[in-house]
Structure 1
Amino acid sequence: MRYRAFISYSHADEAWATWLFKRLETYRVPPRLVGRQTGQGKIGARLGAFFRDRDELTAASDLSATIQDALAESDALIVICSPAAAASRWVNAEVEAFRASGRGERIYAFVVGGEPGCIDDGGCFPPALTAPGEDGQPVEPLAADARPEGDGRKRAFLKLVAGLLGVGFDQLAQREAQRKQRRLVQVAVASLAGMTLAIGLAVTAHVARNDAQRRQAQAEDILGFMLGDLREKLTTVGRLDLMRTVDDKATVYFATLDPRDLSDRTLEEQARSLTGIGQVRLDEGNHDEATAAFREAHARSTALQARDPGNGQRLFDLAQAEFWLGFVAFQQGKYGAADAWLRKYHDSAMRVAAMDRGNFAWQKEQAYALHNLAVMDEQRGRYVQAERSMRAAISLYRDWIGQRPGDLPLRSEAADAMSWLGTLALARGQLDSAEDYFAEQVDVLQRNAAEEPDNAVWRDYLVRARLLLVDALAQRGKLEDARSLTATTLPVAAALAAQDPANNAWRTWLGACHWWRSRLATDDAAPLAEEEAAQAERIFVAALAAEPEKERLVVWLARTRHLRAQLALGRGDLRAARGHVAGALALIEPAWRARQNEDLRLWLARTRLLQGDIDASSGNRADGVRSWTEATHLLEQPDRRGPVPFLRLEPLLRAQVALGAQEKAVATRRRLDAAGYVPLHPFADIAPVAAR
């Protein structure tokens, strides 16, 4: 046969015919199938030539004869089925002619629209395709359904190829999956060189406009893959370092484009690519470059959404840009800007979810938006509002997990929301509840890590969750459990930090593990405590240098210097203790002046309190009283209604004891005891309330 198949289609489906023709003629058969003998003959490396009348009939003088010859010389007939094809007398005639040749079993239907089983106006099969055979029974054609609600374009294409080759679909799909996996590694290595070439081609767009548009599309397809699919793969193995050079070249490439060349599709691809670039920069701790990328993505997404307000995908993309701008502002401690962006994101998320209740990705935006508002309220001490939003998000997750029990990311997101309930419980003195919430998150993430041991994301999340649980265990006096959990977490954090040294978040978790090892060291392990604290300080100094505006790192480094000052005071080295406290104050005081929140208030008060202890130990009780008084004012400051927040009680009690405010100290101790709080070091001069 001259042709592998004759492609019959209605003129209305010409775009589908063009796409299918190119895919079939360029398809490479998986090597392991080449040479195999099937009912369709020996399989070659290519499918062969295909006949498509629009390309080959324009020069023919006898249209009918040309079609008959092409049908006779075609091994199979592919019918692109749609309502237009069902109504086309030419498509029907071609099917009749091919069936008349006695090869009806070699007809393949490729459904692109309409309903395969419908014979009314909505049907897609030409009458001859289902006409009764010699036995009088209606024929049920072999069909590949390319509609989104059917097999989908890719799966339908493979079904069609499997029929042409005479092999099982599962066998061909498995071979394709194996080939894709082998190529992924090759693509990851070769993509940087390909990216450079593609960008170089795109920069020449001004020379020949038509050629430039083709090259621009190629370059942005590669960018879309590298900053989308490839980035996701590299994220799971913890190799975002491979993306940084690509990001730089992509940023330069976008800057070279003429605004006149920016079609809607180009703007969409650029917005998604810039969002990916911003995420990589954020993981590196480069907030300024991350913000710049997110702002560029937001500008493009805003323009696109304005052009087509009813397009849900464009609203979804705009919501992502709003979220990332809010998130990076939150990371910088710019809570006003963060709150404004995250509320915009909440509004967009609710709108996009309402546009298509069947789109699960859009539905999840509701939970994310509620989660973000809860975190903002928690940061500002609005615990009741925060818990209300978080429980609303958890209610959504419970429904979804019931429908998708095997969805690991969904399971992790729900556990993260439960963990935030633990954080809120800690802030309100509900220590037993906090421990339960954190333990539940750890359990979920351990199951995820066991099911996907090579996924670095689960190990990252697991380290964070365990550190939260360590804190809750320590506050309840379960020190052996806290030490054991810290010991098992430290190697995981160390492996992550070694895997990608530029990942500042992973470096931070490693420093936190060393901090807890020092903090939980027993009294007879003073050298270990000092060694671990010194290691934590080295890590946090490097991390803060990478992200100088990140408040969490400021607090962690101040906490570490505070801890080193405590250790020095414990061994009687007042000079070293004074130096460490001064280093902590040098960090925490400017941050407190810039933006006042609970974390900064708490650690500034703790540091002032420790400074007073050092002064008193040096014989300067008057200076000590001043420092203790400053700490007390910070902790008792009536900046809200109701009693002093629970998180302030432990340092407040120590300040009250130091100042001799016995009656106040007893009342404060009563609240701590009622919550089940157990101090790591005993409260001096204050007996348990039960003994009074």
Structure 2
Amino acid sequence: MGTGLHGDADARQAIVKTGGAPGERRYRAFISYSHSDEAAARRLHRWLESYRIPRRLVGQGTARGEVPRRLAPIFRDRLEFPAASSLNAAIEEALAMSDALLVLCSPAARASLWVNAEIRLFRRLHPDRPIIAALLTGEPADAFPEALLEPDAAGIADEPVAADFRRSHDGAKLARLKIVAGLTGLALDELIQREAQRQLRRVIAVTVASLAFALIMAMLLIFAILARREAEHQRRQAEGLIEFMLTDLRTRLQGVGRLEILQSVNARALAYYGEQSDLNRLPAESLERRARVLHAMGEDDHKRGDYAAALATFREAHRVTATLLAAKPGDPLRIFAHAQSEFWLGYVDFVRFRYARALPRFVAYRDLARRLVAISPEDLKYRRELGYAEGNLCTIAVARKGPPADLDACAAALATMEHIARSSPGDPGIQSDLANRHAWMADALRLTGHDEEAMAHRDRQRAIIDRLLAADPKNASYRQDWILSRYSTSELLRALGKPAEADAMIAESRRVIDGLIASDPENEDWRVWREKLNQPDPQ
């Protein structure tokens, strides 16, 4: 079978119609191949027509004439002719107008009548023009068409030197250059050398371009890193300010009892995190701060009497801290943060007298505190947290008037806090906690009928609070604790048959609570205490 013109049927018809003088050249080469080798013929045809001869070789004179810039056009027929027909006029015309014949050799080509016919016709038309063999598959004896081995016009029959595409021989790259050398008359060595130089220039160009691209990318990366560092620096500054608002400033505002300012501080801090498009992408430390903001907001909502808002806020904090803890179960900071979430959810239920719902939260809080102490037994902060957790179980037991076994939690909480107080005798916060534990111990003793022992703990509570208030007389939290201690002591005095002393304590407490309410009218806790103190006979 012949191979087709690089074009469509109309172009082939134009050859027949226009014709051409015998020997007129139009094609650099005619590719003769078997239909079985069509894919290889198509690839080679595409490569030859797109190949550019090295610039320094273009224009040189060779036995084939002046070296062109390109080898196009190359003839490759795309039609398969019927077995009964002879070579048609278009094929004969193309052979007549071709400078060379390129035969793709394979066992299929050797068996092809049309490949052999095309070789014989080309040799008859152009005995002086080259026939180039390209060995695709098989051994030469099995792949070369018989016509290729027939004697030429001079009666000489030599096996042609083929461009061997087989991987074990020339390979495709060298074989293609051999074909170019055969079509142009250039020396193969010179062509290989020039091609190598061109490839080297291409490699250099690609390398330079790659280096330039790498330099640009490096500069962009540096800019990105600097921008990221700046953003990180700004984030740290912003979160440092939030940390200040959540610690030092918050403590000071609590001391003066200004809940409306605390609410504004918390809202501004939470708004900062709300501006983040995806909270899941925040660093862990930012999420921990976010949880602390939520705890603070929930606490203040609760103090203002907005229990629904407080519960929603504490639930969100619990979700955040649970996620953090699940990622690092052994991290003490995350254990601590989640312990606060468990406490606040339990506390909301506790103050609403839902003790059955509060108890599992307080137990979970106690268990987390125990994990903290197990991780760092000498850390007073963690031991203090355990004291709080044991104290919460004490409050549940007292509120439910539980059996003596449940009230043992009160003694455990007091013992823990006394140990901490001995280690840090000058810490006012720990002293305040110790006073609170004496108060709950007194309540537990009253439930078991030990009123005299209960009064001893009330006396210790009042003594501690008096010292704290003397050191910081404007501290609203201490003043509230002072009122609570007087109120509870007055109840115990009545039980011990001392109503006059009880009335004196209540009267003094009323004066103090009125001053606190005047300083912060929105404080729900203080309004509740005023109502209690205004009762004629507190129970």
TM-score, structure 1 as length reference: 0.44
Q: Counterpart of 1:599?
A: 477
Q: Counterpart of 2:4?
A: none
**Which of 354, 358, 362 in structure 2 is aligned with 1:478?**
354
- The letter for the 2-side match of 1:417 is V
Q: 1:144 Cα shift?
A: 9.4
| 1:453 aligned counterpart, secondary structure | coil
Aligned partners of 1:588 and 1:603 also within 8 Å = yes
Task: Summarize deviations over 1:215-237 as a string: whole Å, max 9, x none.
Answer: xxxxxxxxxxxxxxxxxxxxxxx
Question: How far apart, CA to CA, are the structure 1 residues paired with 2:219 and 2:276?
Answer: 22
Question: How far apart, CA to CA, are the structure 2 residues paired with 1:148 and 1:571?
Answer: 77
Aligned partners of 1:422 and 1:433 also within 8 Å = yes
- The letter for the 2-side match of 1:490 is R
Aligned partners of 2:366 and 2:390 also within 8 Å = yes
Question: How far apart, CA to CA, are the structure 2 residues paired with 1:374 and 1:138?
Answer: 62
Question: How far apart, CA to CA, are the structure 2 residues paired with 1:535 and 1:638?
Answer: 33
Q: Counterpart of 2:523?
A: 645
Q: 1:653 Cα shift?
A: 3.2
Q: 1:526 Cα shift?
A: 2.9
Query: Are 2:395 and 1:519 equivalent residues in the alignment?
Result: yes
| 1:442 aligned counterpart, secondary structure | helix
Question: How far apart, CA to CA, are the structure 2 residues paired with 1:606 and 1:524?
Answer: 20
Q: Counterpart of 1:508?
A: 384
**Which of 417, 442, 463 in structure 1 is aligned with 2:318?**
442
Query: Are 2:439 and 1:562 equivalent residues in the alignment?
Result: yes
- The letter for the 2-side match of 1:587 is I
Q: Counterpart of 1:180?
A: none
| 1:525 aligned counterpart, secondary structure | coil
Question: How far apart, CA to CA, are the structure 2 residues paired with 1:637 and 1:465?
Answer: 33
Aligned partners of 2:254 and 2:477 also within 8 Å = no
**Closer, same or farther: CA 631–644 of 1 in aligned 2, 3 Å:** farther
Query: Are 2:243 and 1:368 equivalent residues in the alignment?
Result: yes
Query: Are 2:263 and 1:387 equivalent residues in the alignment?
Result: yes
Q: 1:369 Cα shift?
A: 4.3
Aligned partners of 2:404 and 2:448 also within 8 Å = no
**Which of 299, 302, 306 in structure 2 is aligned with 1:423?**
299
Aligned partners of 2:486 and 2:509 also within 8 Å = yes
Count of paired positions: 332
Aligned partners of 2:332 and 2:375 also within 8 Å = no
Alignment of 1:27-46 (within 5 A): none
Question: How far apart, CA to CA, are the structure 2 residues paired with 1:408 and 1:638?
Answer: 39
- The letter for the 2-side match of 1:616 is R
Q: 1:637 Cα shift?
A: 2.4
Task: Summarize deviations over 1:11-58 as a string: whole Å, max 9, x none.
Answer: xxxxxxxxxxxxxxxxxxxxxxxxxxxxxxxxxxxxxxxxxxxxxxxx
Query: Are 2:490 and 1:612 equivalent residues in the alignment?
Result: yes
Query: Are 2:420 and 1:528 equivalent residues in the alignment?
Result: no
Query: Are 2:221 and 1:150 equivalent residues in the alignment?
Result: yes
Give 5+ residue unaligned stretches, structure 2.
1-198
Aligned partners of 1:565 and 1:577 also within 8 Å = yes
Task: Summarize deviations over 1:478-504 as a string: whole Å, max 9, x none.
Answer: 221111111122122112112212211
Task: Summarize deviations over 1:258-300 as a string: whole Å, max 9, x none.
Answer: xxxxxxxxxxxxxxxxxxxxxxxxxxxxxxxxxxxxxxxxxxx
Aligned partners of 1:591 and 1:600 also within 8 Å = yes
- The letter for the 2-side match of 1:517 is L
Give the number of the structure with larger relative contact order, counting CA–CA contacts within 8 Å between residues 6 or more apart.
Answer: 2
- The letter for the 2-side match of 1:555 is S
Aligned partners of 1:144 and 1:151 also within 8 Å = no
Aligned partners of 1:408 and 1:448 also within 8 Å = yes
Question: How far apart, CA to CA, are the structure 2 residues paired with 1:650 and 1:377?
Answer: 21
Q: Counterpart of 1:576?
A: 453
- The letter for the 2-side match of 1:655 is L
Q: Counterpart of 2:141?
A: none
Q: Counterpart of 1:587?
A: 464
Q: Counterpart of 1:456?
A: 332
Question: How far apart, CA to CA, are the structure 2 residues paired with 1:528 and 1:398?
Answer: 47
Question: How far apart, CA to CA, are the structure 2 residues paired with 1:633 and 1:653?
Answer: 13
Q: 1:361 Cα shift?
A: 2.6
Aligned partners of 2:273 and 2:279 also within 8 Å = no
Task: Summarize deviations over 1:341-390 as a string: whole Å, max 9, x none.
Answer: xxxxxxxxxxxx9x955633334334334445455324322222222222
Question: How far apart, CA to CA, are the structure 2 residues paired with 1:396 and 1:514?
Answer: 35
Query: CA-atom RMSD, angstroms?
Result: 3.2
**Closer, same or farther: CA 524–645 of 1 in aligned 2, 3 Å:** closer
- The letter for the 2-side match of 1:492 is L
Question: How far apart, CA to CA, are the structure 2 residues paired with 1:403 and 1:431?
Answer: 25
| 1:549 aligned counterpart, secondary structure | coil
Q: Counterpart of 1:402?
A: 278
Q: 1:620 Cα shift?
A: 1.3
- The letter for the 2-side match of 1:395 is A
| 2:201 aligned counterpart, secondary structure | coil
Question: How far apart, CA to CA, are the structure 1 residues paired with 2:486 and 2:268?
Answer: 39
Q: Counterpart of 1:543?
A: 420
**Closer, same or farther: CA 564–363 of 1 in aligned 2, 3 Å:** closer
Aligned partners of 1:636 and 1:644 also within 8 Å = no
Aligned partners of 2:413 and 2:437 also within 8 Å = yes
Aligned partners of 2:516 and 2:526 also within 8 Å = no
Question: How far apart, CA to CA, are the structure 1 residues paired with 2:283 and 2:520?
Answer: 42
TM-score, structure 2 as length reference: 0.56
Q: Counterpart of 1:553?
A: 430
Question: How far apart, CA to CA, are the structure 1 residues paired with 2:203 and 2:219?
Answer: 35
Aligned partners of 2:257 and 2:519 also within 8 Å = no
Question: How far apart, CA to CA, are the structure 1 residues paired with 2:272 and 2:509?
Answer: 42
Task: Summarize deviations over 1:138-173 as a string: whole Å, max 9, x none.
Answer: 312496999796389xx9xxxxxxxxxxxxxxxxxx
Query: Are 2:509 and 1:631 equivalent residues in the alignment?
Result: yes
- The letter for the 2-side match of 1:499 is I
Question: How far apart, CA to CA, are the structure 2 residues paired with 1:644 and 1:362?
Answer: 32
Q: 1:644 Cα shift?
A: 7.5
Task: Summarize deviations over 1:365-422 as a string: whole Å, max 9, x none.
Answer: 3433444545532432222222222212211112236276252221221121122111
Task: Summarize deviations over 1:550-581 as a string: whole Å, max 9, x none.
Answer: 33222221111111111222332121011110
Aligned partners of 2:442 and 2:453 also within 8 Å = yes
**Closer, same or farther: CA 620–374 of 1 in aligned 2, 3 Å:** closer
Aligned partners of 1:609 and 1:651 also within 8 Å = no
- The letter for the 2-side match of 1:362 is Q
**Closer, same or farther: CA 145–548 of 1 in aligned 2, 3 Å:** farther
Question: How far apart, CA to CA, are the structure 1 residues paired with 2:520 and 2:287?
Answer: 36
Q: Counterpart of 1:499?
A: 375
| 1:150 aligned counterpart, secondary structure | helix
Q: Counterpart of 1:181?
A: none
Question: How far apart, CA to CA, are the structure 1 residues paired with 2:372 and 2:517?
Answer: 41
Alignment of 1:255-266 (within 5 A): none
**Closer, same or farther: CA 456–622 of 1 in aligned 2, 3 Å:** same
- Give the number of the structure whose alpha-carbon radius of gyration is greater: 2
Aligned partners of 2:476 and 2:516 also within 8 Å = no
